[in-house]
Chain A
Amino acid sequence: MFTRRFILGALSAASLAVPASMATAEQVYIPLVSKGFQHQFWQAVKSGAEQAADEYGVTITFEGPDNETMVDRQIDMLAAALANNPKAIGFAALDSQAAIPLLKQANDKGIPIIAFDSGVDSDIPVSTATTNNLAAAGLAADKMAEKIGGKGKVAVVAHDQTSRTGIDRRDGFVNRMAEKYPDIEVVTVQYGQGDHLKSTEVTKAILTANPDLNGIFGTNEGSAIGVVNGVQELGTQGLVIIGYDSGKAQKDAIKSGLMAGAITQNPVGIGYETVKAAVAAMKGEDVPALIDTGFYYYDASNIDDPKIAAVLYD
């Protein structure tokens, strides 16, 4: 009874001592606190960061909350990262304001912050490595207009209403349509939380309500795959689907012609540039305030192009 509980605690504590012994050597430690970690996109960012860590001989950790609403969990991660006396921190804020007290604390300790992906809305970060999402979604709108012949009805399946990337990609697409293509109507913007199943249901609802729809833009990997699933389940023909990011399912859909094409960011580059900038900042070197990590439009014609293939992930 007493011993059982006690042994339990002791055992669990002991089991933790094993990985720790590997991390205590004299190493330069740079934690990356991300917006997520399970999606393939974040895994690609992580692989880019690891690549840079190998090249520069530093140790990184890569963490993010289970989903992009968990603002306070991300702050807890940042607090734990600070406890390990890092030389620099990479941070992709879910909500910049919420993180400011901890960022100030890091700043006071002289720890440089590199913002990545959606960035941090503050002047504390020395640099930001990100995709210009407004411009990228604008390019998606241009491609959509081209494919549907400059007129018709389109819809957007977005991943969320509150995050910077969600807002920028929606607005980038909707605004470009409004400015350049007066004959194209964006009939609705619906949200599927980037969840495959929810986005599928949202897509089916949109298609049911708008049988004369010409195209749908899915604003991230989960949304885009949801759109493809929804169209397949309803058996709709002749719809132009444009996605965002990559992943095996999306690449297959593009190769098979189900999806017209997609915008890809350069997630590997985001991770790589973040760690590279962190190392430079930690040494006191000059770092550009904004590192544009770039974006491309890809379709069946250029998906195997080495330049494109290098930034796509499965």
Chain B
Amino acid sequence: MTTATDIDKKKPLAGLSESGAYQKLLAFASLIALLIGFSIASPNFMQTSNMIAILQATSVNGVLAVAATLIIITGGIDLSLGTLMTFCAVIAGVALTYLGLPLLLGVAAAIAAGAFCGLCSGTFVAKMKIPPFIATLGMMLILKGLSLVISGTRPIYFNDTPGFDQISRGSLIGEVFPALPIPNGVLILFLVAIAASYILGRTVLGRYTFALGSNEEAVRLSGVNTDMWKMRIYALAGAICGIAGILIASRLNSAQPALGLGYELEAIAAVVIGGTSLSGGRGTILGTLIGALIMAVLTNGLRVLSVAQEWQTVVTGAIIILAVYADMARRKKTG
């Protein structure tokens, strides 16, 4: 066996190191604690239909959070996730409703638009050396404006594309197990998460994602074209936002051009709750998924308990701070 293959075998563990696995267990424990707490507090919480509502609510934010995880592991940040999602939804609307293209082409157009916009952000960050916060803030505004321009400031409906709403609303699982009508949107979220997890853990792209976040200068000095890899990661994250765009458009059966601002922050919150470090170099997709679920369970549970909306916001904010604090405290102890 050569040394190269030895390294190859060890590398996947970079994303799933022992402390990482332990940490996911902890995040998972908080999720379970929340579920149990809400079930005790309200008899209406633990119903199949409500659990499905929670999963449905997680699907879009979850996919966005997966995209955010990739960027954050490189030590960057992407504020354009929410409006990029909207932009891709609008592109799908233009392709399907205005141009009357077949369903698959519309979906492909949205994902391609996402990848292209991600590539643009990546170019601003990697080649033009604009700090990610600023570059993606600019993209966020550009895309918000373009969504309104392209759509003519009106929602685009998908009534002429039969089957489009089934992408998110339909349920393949429900056809096999009628008692468990989990919407396809949730299925897509899990597929995206598995794919992203594979990319992070098993591919060269994933390896460089972690490496760039840990010590970009060292990677560059060892002769790696860091700019190119960074652009690829941003493009991949953009394509994932394209999938989120399809999901939200399908769920609403319309592309809502004004929607999107604020969604990037919720995605980032899910990533952070899931234990991904904002300073880069460390993070897992499974953690992000659990983070997104914690956010959705919390929001839904507080609503089912009829907690006043003002207080829901306060509690959500407090939980984010507590979750990250607990994570930091744990890291300090384990070193």
A contact residues vs B (CB 8 Å cutoff): 1-2, 4-6, 8-10, 12-17, 19-21, 23-24, 37, 61-64, 66-67, 69-72, 75-77, 79-85, 95, 97-98, 100-101, 160-162
> Is the beta-carbon distance between A80 and B50 smaller than 8 angstroms?
yes
Q: When A13-B38, A77-B303, A95-B252 are in contact, do A162 and B155 touch as well, CB less than 8 Å?
A: yes
For A15, list chain B residues within 8 Å (CB): 315
For B301, list chain A residues within 8 Å (CB): 16
Q: When A161-B153, A161-B258 are in contact, do A79 and B56 touch as well, CB less than 8 Å?
A: yes
CA distance A9 to B154 in the complex (A): 43
> Is the beta-carbon distance between A80 and B53 smaller than 8 angstroms?
yes
Q: When A5-B26, A16-B302, A83-B45 are in contact, do A71 and B252 touch as well, CB less than 8 Å?
A: yes
Smallest CB gap from A9: residue in B:
B33
Interface range for B:
35 or more
Interface residues of B in 145-186 (CB under 8 A from A): 148, 153-155, 157, 159, 169
Q: When A72-B259, A76-B299 are in contact, do A8 and B333 touch as well, CB less than 8 Å?
A: no
Smallest CB gap from A76: residue in B:
B57
* Contact for B42 among A14, A24, A81, A100, CB less than 8 A: A24
Contact with A along B30-59 (1 / 0, CB 8 A): 111110111011111101011001001100
For A97, list chain B residues within 8 Å (CB): 155, 157, 159, 252-254
The 10 closest A-B pairs by CB, nearest first: A13-B37, A9-B33, A9-B30, A80-B303, A79-B53, A98-B252, A20-B41, A161-B153, A83-B50, A69-B258
> Is the beta-carbon distance between B330 and A5 smaller than 8 angstroms?
yes
Q: Which stretch in B93-101, B112-120, B214-222, B318-326 binds the other chain?
A: B318-326
> Is the beta-carbon distance between A83 and B49 smaller than 8 angstroms?
yes
Q: When A17-B37, A69-B260 are in contact, do A82 and B26 touch as well, CB less than 8 Å?
A: no
> Is the beta-carbon distance between B155 and A95 smaller than 8 angstroms?
yes
Interface: B329 (CB within 8 A)? yes
For A82, list chain B residues within 8 Å (CB): 49, 53
Interface: B305 (CB within 8 A)? yes
Q: Given A15-B315, A80-B53, 18 more contacts at CB 8 Å?
A: A5-B27, A5-B327, A6-B26, A12-B37, A12-B322, A13-B38, A20-B42, A20-B306, A23-B305, A24-B43, A66-B262, A69-B259, A70-B262, A79-B57, A79-B300, A81-B303, A84-B44, A97-B253
For A79, list chain B residues within 8 Å (CB): 50, 53, 56-57, 300
For B33, list chain A residues within 8 Å (CB): 6, 9-10, 12-13
> Is the beta-carbon distance between B306 and A19 smaller than 8 angstroms?
yes
B contact residues vs A (CB 8 Å cutoff): 26-27, 29-34, 36-38, 40-45, 47, 49-50, 53, 56-57, 60, 148, 153-155, 157, 159, 169, 248, 251-254, 256-262, 299-307, 309, 315, 319, 322-323, 326-327, 329-330, 333-334
The CB with the most chain A CB atoms within 10 A, among B26, B154, B327, is that of: B26
* Contact for B251 among A2, A17, A98, CB less than 8 A: A98
Smallest CB gap from B319: residue in A:
A12
CA distance A8 to B298 in the complex (A): 14
For B34, list chain A residues within 8 Å (CB): 9, 12-13
Q: Give 30 CB contacts A-B under 8 Å.
A: A2-B29, A4-B330, A5-B27, A6-B29, A8-B322, A9-B30, A12-B34, A13-B38, A13-B41, A16-B37, A17-B37, A21-B41, A24-B42, A61-B306, A69-B258, A72-B251, A75-B252, A76-B56, A76-B300, A79-B50, A80-B53, A82-B49, A83-B49, A83-B304, A97-B157, A101-B169, A161-B148, A161-B153, A162-B154, A162-B155
* Contact for B44 among A8, A63, A83, A95, CB less than 8 A: A83
* Contact for B53 among A6, A63, A64, A83, CB less than 8 A: A83
For A66, list chain B residues within 8 Å (CB): 262
Smallest CB gap from B50: residue in A:
A83
| Nearest CB of chain B from residue A73's CB, rounded to whole Å | 9
The CB with the most chain A CB atoms within 10 A, among B41, B169, B256, is that of: B41
Q: When A98-B252, A160-B258 are in contact, do A16 and B307 touch as well, CB less than 8 Å?
A: yes
> Is the beta-carbon distance between A5 and B256 smaller than 8 angstroms?
no
For A100, list chain B residues within 8 Å (CB): 253
For B153, list chain A residues within 8 Å (CB): 161-162
CA distance A20 to B304 in the complex (A): 9
Q: When A13-B34, A76-B300, A95-B256 are in contact, do A20 and B322 touch as well, CB less than 8 Å?
A: no
CA distance A1 to B326 in the complex (A): 8
For B261, list chain A residues within 8 Å (CB): 69
| Nearest CB of chain A from residue B179's CB, rounded to whole Å | 16
> Is the beta-carbon distance between B53 and A37 smaller than 8 angstroms?
no
For B60, list chain A residues within 8 Å (CB): 72
